Amino acid sequence: MIHKKSAEILAALGIESRTSGACTGEWLESSGEILTSLDPATGAPLAEVRGCAPADCNVVVEAARARFAEWRMRPAPERGRAVQRLGELLREHKHALGALISLEMGKIRSEGLGEVQEMIDVCDFAVGLSRQLYGLTIQSERPRHRLIEQWRPLGPVAVLTAFNFPMAVWAWNAAIAAVCGHPCVWKPSPTTPLCAIAVQRICNQVMQEHAAPGLFNLCAGGADVGRWMSDEPRFPLVSFTGSIPVGREVAARVAGRLGRSLLELGGNNGIVVLDDANLELAVRAIAFGAVGTAGQRCTSTRRVFAQRGIARQLSERLVRAYATVSIGDPLADGVLMGPLASRAAVGAYVSAVGRAVEQGGELLCGGAPLERPGFFVQPTIVRAPAHERFPLAFEETFAPILYVFEVDDLDEALAAHNAVPQGLSSAIFTESLRSAEKFLSALGSDCGIANVNAGTSGAEIGGAFGGEKDTGGGRESGSDAWKAYMRRQTCTINWGDDLPLAQGVEFL
C-alpha cells in the first residue's frame, strides 16, 4: 500500500507503479529481473521496475553508438546547449526530484534538494566547459613544424552508480561526457531505480528537443547488467561508483579487455582535531560528516583523531550535539537523520557496533536500531583504543558510526590517519598555520581531498572529486576531470618543404 505522500511524489514526476528500466529516448520493453523499490522509512514497496536482460542492453548500446556517430561531430558549444537545457529542466523539477531522492534513498529533504542542486551546478559547469576543452601547443624541435595536443571523444560511456547519490553521480558523468561528445548508458543501483526513471524522463525531453535520441540511455538492473557492461568492448570507458570489492571486479573486467575505467570507490574518512582547534566548528563539521545522510556518504566522517588536551571535551560536545539530532521521516520538517537504505545496512550497523565493543571500543552514545518500521538506527559514537589495535577502523561501514581516537600530536594522528587502505577525504581543525600546512604537505594527508577547518563531507562540484589507494584514483566533476572522458591526440604539423626526422635521425 503506497502512502498518500509517496503517491504524490511519484505522480509529480510521472512515475507509474510498473515501468520498464530500458530507455534510449523511447521506453523499450525490457525482459530482465524485477527491481522492487522500497521506501526505507517504512519498508513498504513503492513501485516495480523491469530491469534489462542482455538482449535489451544490446539494443540500448546500439542506440548509444548510433548517436555517438553523429554527436561527436556537433560543435561542443552546441552539445553544451543540450546540457544547458538539462540543467533548466532539473531546476524546474528540483523540488519533486529532491523529494523522490528522500523517499527512495532516505536522505533528508535538505540533502535531497542539495543533491539536485549538485546536478544543476555540474550542468552549468559543463556548459562553460563546452567552450573550452583546451589542448596545448608545444614547441617543436624541427623547423617549420608545430606540435599540438587535442582532445577527442572516446565513444559511449557506461555509467554504473551507487545507491547513496542516486542522481548526482550520474550527472557528474553524463553532463561532462555529453559536452565531451559521448552518449552515456546508465546502470543505476537496483535499490534506487525510480530516481533513475525520473531523471531519464527529463533526459527524454532534452533528447527530443535537441534531436538526439540515444544520448542519455538507461539500462536498469543488478550485478549481472553491471558485469555485462564492464565486459562490453563497445564501452571504451566504464565509470564506476560503488564499493571497493565490486570496483575491484569491474576494474579487472575492464582491464581484461584493455578498456579504460574511472573508479570512485569507498572512503574511510578522518578528521584531525588539534588542541588549538575551534571546537565549535569541529563539532558541527564532525556531526554533519558522521550523521548526515545517516553516515552513507563516501565522504562520511568515520574516524576522529583528537589531540589529548581537547579529546574529552570534544567527545562530550559531540555526544551533546548527537542528542539533539531528530531521527525520522526524511521528508518531515526538522528531521536531521533518516533511515539507512536497507535492512541489510541495519545488519551491517549492528555487526559493526558489536565488533567495536569486542575490539575494546566504549560506546559513548547510540549503538542500537530503533524499534519502529523502516531501517532506522541511532547515530553512534565509540571511544576507540589505539588505531592499530582496532581493526574495524580499517573498514568502511556504511552507517552513522564514529570512532574517536586520542593522539599525542599531529604526527601520531597523520600516521594513523594514513594507515587505512582507503584515501578519499580528510580534514584538520587547527588554528595553527604550520599544522594546517603540514597536513596539506607531502608529509600530510594521503587523500584525494584534504580540507582545513572544513569537514570531510560536502564537496563543491568545481573541484575534481575522487580519492587515492583503494578509493580507485578516479576524478570526476570539476577542474580538468573531463580529460578522463577523452582521448588525447598529439599531432605534428609540417608546413615546410623538407622532412626532418626527430632526434636528427637520417634516412633516405
Q: Is 298 a catalytic site residue?
A: yes
Cβ 19 to ligand NAD, closest distance in Å?
18
Q: Could you tell me the smallest distance in angstroms from the CB atom of residue 13 to ligand NAD?
A: 21
Nearer to ligand NAD among residue 76 and residue 399 (C-beta):
399
Q: Of 244, 178, 267, 248, which is closest to residue 466 (Cα–Cα)?
A: 267
CA distance 303 to 286: 9
Q: Least separation, in Å, of the C-beta of 400 and ligand NAD?
A: 14
Task: For residue 144, give every residue at least 6 positions away whose Cβ sits within 8 Å of its Cβ, in sequence order, or none.
Answer: 494, 495, 496, 498
Considering the complex, state which of residue 164 and residue 378 has its C-beta at the smaller distance from ligand NAD: 164
CB of 144 to ligand NAD, least distance (A): 47
Closest to ligand NAD by CB, 14 or 421: 421
Least separation in angstroms between residue 354's CB and ligand NAD is 21
Q: Which is nearer to ligand NAD, 191 or 435 (CB)?
A: 191
Nearer to ligand NAD, 235 or 398 (CB): 398
With beta carbons less than 8 A apart as the criterion, state whether 482 and 176 touch.
Answer: yes
* Nine-digit cell string for 80: 553544451
Strand ranges in 51-153 using DSSP code E only, listed in sequence order: 136-138, 145-153
CB of 307 to ligand NAD, least distance (A): 28
Summarize as ranges the residues that interact with ligand NAD (CB under 6 A): 160-165, 169, 187, 189-190, 222-223, 226-227, 230, 241-243, 246, 249-250, 264-267, 298, 396, 398, 424, 467, 471
b/e 95-114 (16+ beta carbons within 10 angstroms → b): ebbbbbbbbbbbbbbebbbb
Residue with the shortest CB distance to ligand NAD: 226
Q: Which of 298, 396, 447, 476 is catalytic?
A: 298
Q: Residue 103 contacts by C-beta under 8 Å, 6 or more apart in sequence?
A: 6, 9, 39, 41, 46, 330, 331
C-alpha cell at 223: 550485478
Residue 491 falls in the annotated catalytic set: no
Distances (CA, A) of 440 to 57, 410, 434: 45, 12, 10
Per the structure block, which three cell numbers stand in for 73?
Answer: 561531430
What DSSP character marks residue 182? -
For the record, the C-alpha cell of 246 comes out as 565490486
Catalytic residue among 104, 264, 412, 476: 264
Question: Which residues on adjacent β-strands are paired with residue 153?
Answer: 486
Pick between residue 135 and residue 347 the one whose CB is nearest to ligand NAD. 347
> What residues act catalytically?
264, 298
